[in-house]
Amino acid sequence: GVVTSFTTDSGSATPIAGVVQIKASPKHAGSSVSFSGSANIVLFNVTDASNNTIIGLNAGNLAMSGTTNTVLGNAAATALTNASGNAIVGSSSGSAITTGASNTIFGTSSGTSITSGTLNTICGQGSGTGFTTGTRNVILGTGSGTSFATTDSSNIVIGANVTGTGGQSNSLRIGSGTG
């Protein structure tokens, strides 16, 4: 049969001379993806009405009510509910964040334990995995910040595999072997 209309998330597209134009088509996209159509054009949108941009297979959460989150990566930020202002990049990164806000997380499997922690900056594969509700931590380096406890806050860790010390806040650790 002949297609007479292409229904999208917002509107529909009608073929002209048997052609419907698709402007963009990613292989995988997260919960904020939608298509809109007008005339014979279908537009691909990756930012939702709440200014969330989520791209990646199984990334984000369809039930999310948070705003201004940017998520990029396979299975990244899968638990987001009412979180806002997060920038999360990397496969499985920030996967437990539900209500945490203003976190910046870069690196595969980084920040995976954070649930409601806020204002954390984490950069490095597998880093920042030790705390859930801690705030204002700065963790730079692959495998760093993995030993912090649930609420540890205001720590600065710089260097690969500088794990930190559980139960400690307001600490500065630079270089391998500094805990």
First-to-last CA distance in the chain?
67
Average of pLDDT values for 161-179?
A: 88
Q: What is the pLDDT of residue 27?
A: 41
Answer yes or no: is pLDDT of 26 > 50: no
Answer yes or no: is pLDDT of 124 > 70: yes
| Angstrom distances, CA of residue 110 to CA of 12, 65, 67 | 40, 23, 21
Q: What is the pLDDT of residue 30?
A: 54
C-alpha 33/C-alpha 64 separation (Å) is: 13
Average of pLDDT values for 16-25?
A: 65
Answer yes or no: is pLDDT of 25 > 60: no
User: Do residues 124 and 108 lie in contact, with contact meaning Cβ atoms separated by under 8 Å?
Assistant: no
Average of pLDDT values for 32-59?
A: 79
DSSP 15: -
More confident residue, 24 or 1: 1
pLDDT tens per residue, range 63-97: 788 899 999 999 999 999 999 999 999 999 999 99
C-alpha 137/C-alpha 121 separation (Å) is: 6
107's CB contacts (< 8 A; 6+ apart) are 89, 90, 93, 122, 123, 124, 125, 126, 127, 142
C-alpha 32/C-alpha 42 separation (Å) is: 16
